[in-house]
Amino acid sequence: MNINRPIVVGVDGSASSLDAVRWAAEAAVRRESPLVLVSALLTPGQYGVPDAIPSGYFDKQETESKKILEHAADVAARTARGRTLEIETDLRRGPVIGVLLDHVQTAEMVVLGWRGLDEFTGMLVGSVAAALTTHGLCPVAVIRGLPGPEEPDLDGPVVVGVDGTKNSEPVLAAAFEEASLRGAELVAVHVWSDYKLSMFFPDDTEFDWAPHELAAQATLAHTLAGWREDYPHVVVRTVIVRDRPVRNLLAQAERAQLLVVGSHGRGGYASMLVGSTSRALLQSAQCPLMIAHEPH
């Protein structure tokens, strides 16, 4: 990966966005990449009633946003703990998705907090992440479950969902790189059916799953082979389960420091913004989640 490409963070002043700043600062230090803190100012037209907004409101909004970015930059600098970290800020008017998309084309990664100042942001972040992964060229990380500044760092594995299709390649590239940079174990989870198979094969139905399980093992081994050669120092543990990818990925990620998935899986249609598994994990994962995808 290009160490000169910046790590970009969306900042809104919320505690969640400051978690994203801390996480992104660590990621930037590991990569020797610059950190760019981005905040968006709403334009009058975005309120829908520009004539009703008091004079001077937007000047005050800009002043407050500058203070928020200054505080975020201070948080990032303290997170670096004396290590080299180049920090830049960018304050622009416009929709947050549009402002972030301007950076996605040249970013190594875009980082978002899971919940912002708006009480609905926990749901809206999925829309922002979806737009960025659909139109952008880099992974998007959504940060949740981060320890406080004075608490021990997350030290669990990096968990990656592997479906065995070509969509797995950018996901594995991101996951192996993260595990390598962190010195962490990599847990590769392959769920060979997206469906709850008991719906089709009740418990009392005799069915020989062995051939399917052997095929799944072969698929996972083949998919990982090249990456294991490229990252011989990364310890890899494989987990193969039959169905329900969201439930099983969440179970494996309970102690993870990062969960990496693709934007689309086996049934991922190009027209869909984010696959069903990714959407569900955005709302349910209790650790930082990275969504990777094939560059356009």
Q: What's the per-residue H, E or C state across 138-160?
A: CCEEEECCCCCCCCCCCCCCEEE
197 belongs to a structural domain: yes
Half-sphere exposure of residue 91: CA atoms within 13 angstroms, side-chain side: 17
CA-based nearest residue to 146, from 277, 18, 278: 18
Q: Do 168 and 133 share a domain, yes or no?
A: no
Same domain, 90 and 48: yes
pTM summary value = 0.86
pLDDT digits over 108-126, tens only? 999 998 876 554 445 467 6
Task: Name, in order, each residue with C-beta under 8 angstroms of 156's C-beta and a sequence gap of 6 or more.
Answer: 184, 255, 256, 257, 287
Compute the mean pLDDT over every residue in the chain, rounded to the nearest whole number: 83
pLDDT interval class at 220 (50, 70, 90): very high
Do 174 and 270 share a domain, yes or no? yes
User: Does the residue 18 lie in any domain?
Assistant: yes
pLDDT for 272 beyond 50: no
Half-sphere exposure of 180 (CA within 13 A, CB side): 15
Q: What is the pLDDT confidence band of residue 273, given thresholds at 50, 70 and 90?
A: very low
Same domain, 78 and 130: yes
In total, how many domains does the chain have?
2
Spatial separation of the C-alpha atoms in residues 292 and 132, rounded to whole Å:
10
Is the same domain home to 136 and 11?
yes
Which CATH number do you get for residue 274?
A: 3.40.50.12370
| Span of 11-20, 52-61, 224-233 with lowest mean pLDDT | 52-61
Same domain, 137 and 174: no
My answer on whether 177 and 128 are in the same domain is no
CB of 247 closer than 8 Å to CB of 276: no
CB 179: neighbour CB atoms within 10 A? 25
Nearest to 288 by CA among 49, 11, 24, 1: 24
Mean per-residue pLDDT, 229-233: 98
Task: Name the more confident of 167 and 30.
Answer: 30
3-class DSSP assignment, residue 72: helix
pLDDT higher at 137 or 239: 239
- In the numeric block, the tokens 């998309």 are attached to 101
Mean pLDDT, residues 248-264 taken together: 90
pLDDT over 70 at 237, yes or no: yes
Which range has the top average pLDDT, 15-29, 250-264, 279-293? Answer: 15-29
Burial grade of 232 (CB within 10 A; 0-12, 13-18, 19 or more) = exposed
Which CATH number belongs to the domain containing residue 99 in this structure? 3.40.50.620
**Among residues 115, 143, 171, which one ends one of the domains?**
143
Residue 2: inside a domain: no
**Residue 65 one-letter amino acid:** S
Q: Does 118 share its domain with 170? A: no
Give the residue, 191 or 161, on which the prediction is more confident: 161
Whether residue 227 is contained in a domain is answered as yes
Last residue of a domain, one of 120, 143, 166: 143
Out of 86, 120, 143, a domain closes at 143
Residues 177 and 85 occupy one common structural domain = no
- Residue 67 pLDDT exceeds 90: yes
d(CA 186, CA 233): 11
Q: Is the pLDDT of residue 23 over 50?
A: yes
Residue pair 178/258 in contact (Cβ under 8 Å)? The answer is: yes
Query: Residues 129, 106: one domain?
Result: yes
Strand order of the β-sheet with 87-93 is 87-93, 35-41, 7-10, 109-113, 140-143, 289-292, 258-262, 158-161, 186-191, 236-241
Determine, yes or no, domain membership for 162. Answer: yes
Whether residue 237 sits in one domain with residue 126: no
Share of the chain above pLDDT 70, in %: 77
Residue 9 pLDDT class (50, 70, 90 cuts) = very high
> Does residue 231 sit in helix, strand or coil?
coil
| Band of residue 235 on the pLDDT scale cut at 50, 70, 90 | very high
**Distance between CA atoms of residues 160 and 182, nearest Å:** 14
Q: Which H or E run includes 110?
A: strand 109-113
Q: Are residues 137 and 189 in the same domain?
A: no
CB 185 within 8 A of CB 154: no
Residue 1 lies in a domain: no
Task: State the residue range of the domain holding 131.
Answer: 7-143
Strands 140-143 and 289-292, bridge-based pairing: antiparallel
Confidence of residue 147 (pLDDT cuts 50, 70, 90): confident
- Is residue 153 in some structural domain? no
> Is 194 a domain residue?
yes
